[in-house]
Amino acid sequence: MCTFEPFRVRSLWLFWLAAGLAQAQLSNSAYRVLGQSDLRQNGVNLVMGVELYAPSGIAIDVRSGVVHVYISDTRNARVLAWQDARSYQIGDPPTLVLGQPGPQYSRPLGIGTKGFNTPLGLAVDAGTGNLYVADSGNSRGLRFPSPFANPTRVEPDAVYGQPGFTTNAPGASASAHSMPRGPPSMLRFSETSCAVSVAPTLTTPSK
């Protein structure tokens, strides 16, 4: 039997380590926090609508002299993104909300069939800035084209592991996924069956 331990963002130590390396600055304790107003708070979905609920994945894009930060806000069925870790101040809201119509929304499939159901692992293409998300509850992976270059786009443009955006049945073939947990690094997805499969043919939605 194979078990998975989702990446925990509770202390965000890996994120701050990466951000610190980008600035040649390291700390052995947290000094900033995302998703809460300060380091003393731990409430879920407070009045601002930008707090985190069971975050499970993190990815960093260090292109173009900035440190973009993505966090999979799993129980809120969305991915939140901050423009630059180096200029971030505690309490700053995310710059982008992916998979929901706005920061006040948190239902699964909040934007319809292109929305999330339990987003977990994340990965960024270092060359293009495209973001890949393991949408575990929908048994698929999703691609968001360079979100910071397309700030008004909250939906993905391509799907892996399903024939289209309208299907989400788990599968065991070479062209299907069964509750992938990710991250979908190198276009591969880890699956709950403990197998690692090469991502199937990309499906691009019709316009």
Q: Tens of pLDDT along 76-97?
A: 999 999 999 999 988 889 999 9
Are the beta carbons of 135 and 160 closer than 8 angstroms?
A: no
pLDDT of 64 above 90:
no
Q: What average pLDDT score do residues 12-35 get?
A: 58
187: exposed, middle or buried (Cβ count in 10 Å: 0-12, 13-18, 19+): middle
| Global pTM value | 0.70
Residue with the two structure tokens 């630059």: 84
**CATH code of domain 13-198:** 2.40.10.500
Q: What is the pLDDT of residue 8?
A: 38
Q: What average pLDDT score do residues 105-126 get?
A: 94
Domain locations along the chain: 13-198
User: What is the C-alpha to C-alpha distance for residues 185 and 163, in angstroms, rounded to an integer?
Assistant: 21
For 107, the 3-state DSSP assignment is: coil
User: What is the C-alpha to C-alpha distance for residues 171 and 169, in angstroms, rounded to an integer?
Assistant: 6
